[in-house]
């Protein structure tokens, strides 16, 4: 079968190679999936460049956590799926529900991922696609959509109608968060360095946009837009580079969902402002299979569709990786087979 690997020790995209490997054989509890589409996340370039947690990989790895396809065969003990089902893999293969454990294998990182013609996955690490979803649309869900769902809906403090949500940037997580927040009846403020992206976000339902290049102190603009109260939820994908501004932008007893480190690992993270507001900072590391299943039912009912900026054919996977580094897109980038 055709596949891609990231070579062990990879510290640049030169380590991404197309190759052929034997077809995987599903165990009794696994399903064999013919992959039709995959999608990229910010994490995938970190892994390829040896900059993810743990540094460069010790072994060759099939990359990408996100993918969707059709089940072509099932193991003898599989009960929840049948041949022909349209499915997506989950980010964590053995985290069906309950508290997080860091020993759980993560696709495209600590275990092989989806950038391959065929993959064998555990039954509990697979979900049915929402009704009416294409493979390309389904491939965008496992990391970005589940993360946004967890941050706003499956959290201890879910978003409520009339609240205000701040989404940082216009990448996959933030755009899904915008869509989920609007479906919940919330007001959404979104940031970007591009007025074109802000205009696109408003077409998708954002109520206000802030260009953080033009307004570096965007937390002050948030205060202005909320009559100095701040926002109830912040989808914080920047990390230490933006946390201090988020501390100032969050409302009393509000919540910051800490998701990524797009703005870098350095910055002022003194939590005094949060303490004085009685606000909550919750770490979000994607989510469980059950969250994914709950989300697919909601997507079917709400008819929310992913925002796919561009698709690339399988043979141009490297170009997809390279395009992601430009940040010149809104939503998701997809690779098709």
Q: 45-95, pLDDT tens digit by residue?
A: 999 999 888 889 899 999 999 999 999 999 999 999 999 999 999 999 989
**How many domains is the chain built from?**
2
Residues 191 and 300 in one domain: no
What value does the mean pLDDT take over residues 187-215? 98
Q: What is the 3-state secondary structure (H, E, C) of 88-112?
A: EECCECCCCCCCCCCCCCEECCCEC
Average pLDDT of the chain, as a whole number:
95
Any residues with CB less than 8 A from the CB of 272 and at least 6 apart, and which?
Answer: none
CATH number of the CATH domain containing 256? 3.40.50.720
Give residue for tokens 């293969």.
93
Rounded distance, CA 133 to CA 302, Å?
Answer: 13
Tell me, yes or no, whether 247 lies in a domain: yes
Residues 86 and 181 in one domain: no
Tell me, yes or no, whether 149 lies in a domain: no
Strand, helix or coil for residue 72: strand
Of 226, 240, 213, 239, the closest CA to residue 166 belongs to 226
Q: Per-residue confidence at 244, pLDDT binned at 50, 70, 90?
A: very high
Instruction: Phi first, then psi: give them for residue 105, nearest 5 degrees.
Output: -70, 135
Q: 103-150, pLDDT tens digit by residue?
A: 688 999 989 999 999 999 999 999 999 999 999 999 999 999 999 999
Residues 6 and 131 in one domain: yes
What value does the mean pLDDT take over residues 289-313? 97
Rounded distance, CA 46 to CA 42, Å?
Answer: 7
Range of the domain at 124: 2-142+287-336
Q: 155-178, pLDDT tens digit by residue?
A: 989 999 999 999 999 999 999 999
pTM (two decimals)? 0.95
């Amino acid at each position: 079968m055709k596949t891609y690997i990231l070579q062990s020790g990879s510290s640049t995209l030169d380590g991404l190679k197309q190759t052929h490997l034997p077809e995987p054989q599903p165990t009794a509890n696994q399903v064999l999936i013919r992959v039709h589409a995959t999608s990229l996340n910010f994490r995938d370039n970190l892994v390829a460049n040896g900059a993810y947690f743990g540094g460069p990989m010790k072994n060759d790895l099939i990359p990408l956590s996100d993918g969707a396809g059709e089940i072509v065969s099932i193991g003898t003990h599989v009960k929840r799926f049948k041949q022909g089902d349209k499915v997506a893999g989950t980010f964590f293969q053995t985290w069906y529900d309950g508290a997080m454990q860091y020993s759980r294998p993560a696709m495209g990182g600590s275990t092989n991922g989806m950038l391959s013609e065929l993959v064998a996955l555990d039954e509990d690490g697979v979900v049915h696609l929402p009704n009416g979803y294409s493979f390309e649309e389904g491939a965008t869900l496992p990391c970005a959509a589940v993360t946004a769902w967890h941050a706003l809906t499956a959290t201890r403090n879910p978003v409520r109608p009339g609240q205000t949500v701040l989404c940082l940037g216009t990448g996959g997580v933030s755009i899904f968060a915008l869509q989920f927040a609007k479906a919940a009846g919330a007001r959404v403020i979104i940031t970007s360095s591009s007025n074109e992206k802000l205009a696109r976000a408003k077409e998708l339902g954002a109520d206000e946009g802030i260009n953080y290049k033009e307004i570096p102190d965007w937390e002050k603009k948030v205060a202005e837009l909320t009559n100095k109260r701040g926002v109830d939820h912040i989808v914080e994908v920047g990390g230490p580079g933006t946390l201090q501004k988020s501390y100032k932008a969050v409302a009393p007893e509000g919540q910051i969902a800490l998701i990524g480190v797009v703005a870098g690992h350095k910055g002022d993270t003194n939590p005094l402002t949060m303490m004085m507001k009685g606000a909550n900072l919750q770490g979000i590391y994607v989510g469980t299979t059950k969250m994914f299943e709950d989300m697919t039912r909601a997507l079917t009912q709400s008819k929310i569709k992913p925002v796919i900026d561009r698709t690339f054919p399988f043979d141009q996977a490297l170009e997809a990786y390279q395009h992601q580094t430009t940040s010149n897109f809104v939503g998701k980038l997809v690779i098709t087979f």
